[in-house]
């Protein structure tokens, strides 16, 4: 990771106002993955785990739902919704409750008490409007605020949450990329390319690893066509099993059956340019 940005000299929130588009259950796929994969880390927290929903948008639904879902993993979970647009914070305040607060802020993530560090930061559909060259610095700034063992989940989805791709990062930098979809909406796996996060969306071109990954995924999907008679879920699972022969996947059939697949970041990281993370090899990072 690049060094984190220095603290802002201004009291103004750091960042840019997003479109704010939000719908109920839009982030259910991401929340489901977080609860399953990061739930043990929440439970290991000595104190009540603090979670940030960064840039929740024009309505507070995603923050409300995040609290409900994470409390199935740890009933102590506290969620703080942070928005850079003051009117959105004002509109969200009536939805505050035990364990759910709303704050005006941006990437500096104002939390009660200067020493509070979140165990999880979710930033969905926040960096879409930024330049690719800005992503690494934003990642570094957010990761620098994480508690030990914390997680940043940053990604993009469509308006109703059918297709979603996100990057999971720890304090040391990016770890994995997850592709998640409602299988009935999919013609081929590369349909998910339009929802790649900002660090990868401009890299879906020949010669870049993410392009090769989606190409191989489409080939595996085509080869698994006979399984379509058993349903899209069986075809997806068969395709992912084929993909696992050449790509470093980090999950198993329990997640694949949910319409997910997670691959190591190093296998998909950009070969060069502003979004590349120092230390990544420019060679073939598969397997």
* pLDDT tens per residue across span 199-224: 999 999 999 999 999 999 999 999 99
Q: How many residues does the chain have?
A: 287
Helix/strand/coil for 124: strand
Q: What is the pTM of this model?
A: 0.90
Query: Does residue 6 carry a pLDDT above 70?
Result: no
**What are residue 169's DSSP bridge partners?**
152, 174
Please name each of the domains of the chain with its CATH number.
28-268 (3.40.50.150)
pLDDT of residue 267: 98
Q: Give the mean pLDDT of 38-47.
A: 93
DSSP-derived 3-state class of residue 158: coil
Does pLDDT of 270 surpass 60?
A: yes
Instruction: Extract the tokens encoding 189.
Output: 């796996």
Predicted confidence (pLDDT) at residue 82 exceeds the cutoff of 80: yes
Arithmetic mean of pLDDT, 228-234: 96
**With 60 as the cut, is the pLDDT of residue 98 above it?**
yes
pLDDT-based confidence at 275, cuts 50/70/90?
very low
Q: How many CA within 13 A on the CB side of residue 205?
A: 6
| pLDDT > 70? residue 282 | no
Q: What is the pLDDT of residue 144?
A: 95
What does the pLDDT read at residue 20? 57
Neighbours of 260 (CB within 10 A): 21
């Amino acid at each position: 990771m690049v060094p984190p940005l220095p603290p802002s000299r201004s009291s103004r929130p750091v960042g840019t106002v997003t479109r704010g588009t939000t719908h109920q259950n839009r982030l259910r796929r991401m929340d489901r993955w977080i609860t399953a994969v990061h739930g043990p880390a929440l439970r290991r927290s000595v104190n009540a785990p603090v979670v940030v929903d960064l840039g929740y948008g024009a309505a507070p639904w995603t923050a409300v739902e995040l609290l409900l879902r994470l409390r199935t993993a740890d009933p102590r979970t506290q969620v703080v919704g942070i928005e850079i647009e003051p009117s959105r914070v004002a509109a969200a305040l009536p939805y505050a409750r035990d364990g759910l607060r709303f704050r005006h802020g941006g990437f500096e993530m104002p939390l009660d008490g200067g020493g509070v560090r979140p165990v999880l930061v979710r930033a969905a559909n926040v960096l879409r409007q930024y330049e690719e060259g800005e992503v690494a610095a934003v990642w570094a700034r957010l990761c620098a605020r994480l508690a030990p063992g914390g997680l940043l989940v940053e990604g993009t989805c469509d308006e109703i949450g059918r297709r979603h791709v996100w990057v999971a990062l720890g304090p040391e930098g990016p770890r994995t990329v997850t592709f998640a979809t409602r299988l009935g909406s999919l013609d081929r796996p590369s349909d998910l390319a339009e929802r790649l996060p900002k660090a990868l969306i401009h890299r879906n071109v020949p010669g870049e690893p993410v392009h090769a990954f989606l190409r191989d995924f489409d080939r595996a999907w085509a080869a698994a066509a006979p399984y379509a008679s058993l349903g899209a879920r069986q075809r997806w699972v068969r395709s992912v099993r084929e993909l696992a022969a050449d790509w470093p996947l980090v999950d198993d059939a329990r997640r694949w059956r949910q319409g997910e697949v997670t691959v190591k970041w190093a296998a998909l990281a950009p070969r060069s340019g502003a979004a590349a993370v120092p230390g990544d090899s420019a060679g073939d990072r598969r397997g």
